[in-house]
Every structure is written in C-alpha cells, then in structure tokens.
C-alpha cells in the first residue's frame, strides 16, 4: 500500500460519504488526492473497485464495533452497549458509516444482514431478562437504533446524554 494509494482511499471515502458515490467523479477524487486520474484505475480497476476497497476496509472496523456488543455475556450490559452504539459510531469512523447509510439508498448492494448478529444477541439478552416478547423487542430496538444513527449521521442535533439516560431508565439498566 503506497502513500498515493492511501491518499486515494481517504479522499474517496470523504467525497463518497459527503456527496455520494454516483455524484463523485473519479477526476474529483484524483484531484482531492493530488494524483493522476489514471492511477485510480491502475490500482482499483474501476470506480466500483475503489468503492469495494473502501467497504472492505470498513467492514473490519464494523466487526470490531459489533463484536464488542455481541460477545458481552451480561444481558443488561449488552443492551447498554447496544444503546451506546449510535453515539460511538458518530464519533469514530463517521465517514465510513455515513457512506454505508448513503449506499443502502443509493445502491441495492446494501448488506441488510450486517445487523443480524446484533439482533440475535439482543434477542438472547431480552430472553435472559425475561421480556415477554424478546424477538420483537430486539427488532423494535433495531429499527430505533437504525433511525437514530441515521439522524446523527445526517447532522441532527441530538442530546446524547438525555437520550442515553432516557433509554437506561426505560430498559431499567
């Protein structure tokens, strides 16, 4: 991985996340990365190859974030961690997640299943906590988290302390 290659990747991530994949031209990426346009195609084959390289890199980060929640054994702590996901995601890897959320509307290639391990883990946690309907409870919170993360990534002003406290109270954590 050369320096210019890294420049291309970071410029592309920023631009794709801000303005969208289709709306960002390869020449724009090249200029932002201070690189000739041809180099993008030498390294990544085509525009989609560049996108996939970004998604592959991000996928590893995503797994780290998820696994920290999923492998938590204490059910209350698991829910607690799940609730904090939106606010963590907004801080680190903001661009990657914004790209991810944009893509699920821009292309159909979105991995809707990436939520699933988390949903299963939450279902188990709610089971352990003797909730009446753990499956639906997990699906409910999943949609909520999806909506909340989306709002945060779009720049909605959200009082994270207020929201966190509200949720901790609601789920008696």
Closest distance of CB 136 from DNA, Å: 42
CB atoms within 10 A of CB 74: 11
Tokens matching residue 81: 């961690």
Is residue 144 at the binding interface for its own copies, with CB under 8 A as the rule? Answer: yes
Left if phi > 0, otherwise alpha if psi is -120 to 50, otherwise beta: which for 172?
left
Which residues of the chain form contacts with DNA (CB under 7 A)?
A: 2-5, 24-28, 34-39, 41-43, 46-48
> What does the H/E/C string look like for 5-40?
HHHHHHHHHHHHHHHCCCCCCHHHHHHHCCCCHHHH
Q: Which stretch binds its own copies (CB under 8 A): 30-38, 44-52, 55-63, 151-159?
A: 151-159
Closest distance of CB 20 from DNA, Å: 11
Closest distance of CB 136 from its own copies, Å: 4
Among 66, 85, 110, 129, binds its own copies (CB under 8 A): 110
- Distance separating alpha carbons of residues 11 and 30, to the nearest angstrom: 8
Among 22, 25, 27, 46, binds its own copies (CB under 8 A): 22
The closest of 152, 146, 61, 156 to 110, measured between CA atoms, is 146
Q: Choose among its own copies, DNA, none what residue 43 binds, the Cβ cut-off being 5 to 8 Å by kind.
A: DNA
Closest distance of CB 102 from its own copies, Å: 5
């Amino acid at each position: 991985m050369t320096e210019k290659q890294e420049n291309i990747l970071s410029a592309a991530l920023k631009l794709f996340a801000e303005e969208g994949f289709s709306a960002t031209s390869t020449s724009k990426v090249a200029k932002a990365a201070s690189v000739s346009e041809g180099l993008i195609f030498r390294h990544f084959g085509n525009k989609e190859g560049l996108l996939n390289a970004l998604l592959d890199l991000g996928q590893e980060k995503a797994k780290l974030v998820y696994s920290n929640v999923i492998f938590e054994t204490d059910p209350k702590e698991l829910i607690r961690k799940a609730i904090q996901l939106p606010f963590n995601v907004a801080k680190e890897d903001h661009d990657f997640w914004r790209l991810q959320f944009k893509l699920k509307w821009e292309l159909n290639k979105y991995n809707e299943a990436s939520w699933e391990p988390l949903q299963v883990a939450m279902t188990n946690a709610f089971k352990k906590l003797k909730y009446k309907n753990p499956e639906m409870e997990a699906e409910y919170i999943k949609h909520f988290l999806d909506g909340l993360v989306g709002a945060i990534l779009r720049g909605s002003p959200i009082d994270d302390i207020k929201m966190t406290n509200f949720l901790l109270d609601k789920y008696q954590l």
